[in-house]
Homo-oligomer: A and B are copies of this chain.
């Protein structure tokens, strides 16, 4: 069996190819035209690489329930568009004010601020477009459920709300509970939904959905803890980006609260909890257990 890192690169290639198709010049039925500048900005945002962790999670979970088809890849690409929109907007001058993303200029640097706002806006719309289209799943109930799940994970009560809390946190240090809630919203909810979406696509039963949902929460938590840990401990050379940014910005992180040893212990516990949740699925769930270890123990 390939290891998770290999499957991640394979997913990244496949998702990038599909995103290229979805962001082609030709308008879709119901669209009037695709303005060149906005399309170029969306392609800049979406086709510049990236780990594609969320799509990989959707694919792995769907595979666990016996689904591996073009519809699953579409949902994976839609979730990546939603994630991509959030990066474009978070990078804006009035938000995190970042000039570089994945070694390339951010959208507002490569184009301009207005274009970057519209680019994020249209990427969000595209995410819902892709999911709702009949090609994604024969069953409209599955499509509607996926749209609703994505919306709840990414709006006021999820990702966008979490970014609001994070911006507010820069002026008021948060305690542990508030930091956990902020991160569960800002990054956790969409990662959790990436997993849930695979279960919805695979028609998993209620008990399996519950396990996958909690597995997704754990991956979200582990992802954020590992990220904060790398920010605190890795060298800029190892990480390929600036480190100690959180500290410099006075941002609330759990690593600052727990310390490095305790953070590592918590990450190990999360991996163990993920393995326990996956046990009833037997050996077929090995890739998901490996994904948990990958996310929790990664060094870049």
Contacts of A94 in B (CB 8 A): 112-114, 117
Instruction: Decide yes or no whether A74 CB sits under 8 A from chain B.
Output: no
Q: How far is the CA of A27 from the CA of B151 in the complex (A)?
A: 13
Instruction: Decide yes or no whether A120 CB sits under 8 A from chain B.
Output: yes
Shortest Cβ distance from residue A177 to the other chain B in the assembled complex, whole angstroms: 11
Q: Are A147 and B128 in contact (CB under 8 A)?
A: yes
Instruction: Decide yes or no whether A279 CB sits under 8 A from chain B.
Output: no
Q: How far is the CA of A28 from the CA of B156 in the complex (A)?
A: 10
Instruction: Decide yes or no whether A155 CB sits under 8 A from chain B.
Output: yes
Contacts of A185 in B (CB 8 A): 32-33
Contacts of A147 in B (CB 8 A): 128, 131-132, 143-144, 147
How many residues of chain A get a CB closer than 8 Å to chain B's CBs? 66
Known contacts A132-B147, A144-B132; decide if A115 and B155 are in contact (CB<8 Å): no
Q: How far is the CA of A152 from the CA of B129 in the complex (A)?
A: 7
Q: Are A32 and B132 in contact (CB under 8 A)?
A: no
Q: Are B160 and A32 in contact (CB under 8 A)?
A: no
In the A-B complex, the 8 residue pairs with the smallest Cβ-Cβ separation, listed nearest first, are A31-B157, A125-B155, A30-B152, A129-B151, A94-B113, A132-B147, A140-B141, A132-B148
Contacts of A34 in B (CB 8 A): 156-157, 161
Contacts of A133 in B (CB 8 A): 148
Q: Are B163 and A151 in contact (CB under 8 A)?
A: no
Task: Write out, one digit per residue, whether chain A residues 174-206 have a CB within 8 A of any chain B CB (1) or not (0).
Answer: 000000010011000100000000000000000
Q: Are A154 and B181 in contact (CB under 8 A)?
A: no
6 contacts between A and B (CB under 8 A): A30-B153, A31-B155, A32-B181, A38-B161, A122-B155, A125-B154
Contacts of A54 in B (CB 8 A): none
Quick one: closest B residue to A108, CB to CB? Answer: B94
Q: Are B28 and A157 in contact (CB under 8 A)?
A: yes
Quick one: closest B residue to A130, CB to CB? Answer: B151
Q: How far is the CA of A114 from the CA of B33 in the complex (A)?
A: 30
Contacts of A85 in B (CB 8 A): 121
Q: Are B125 and A33 in contact (CB under 8 A)?
A: no
Which of A164-172, A226-234, A254-262, A290-298 is near enough to bind chain B?
A164-172
Instruction: Decide yes or no whether A289 CB sits under 8 A from chain B.
Output: no
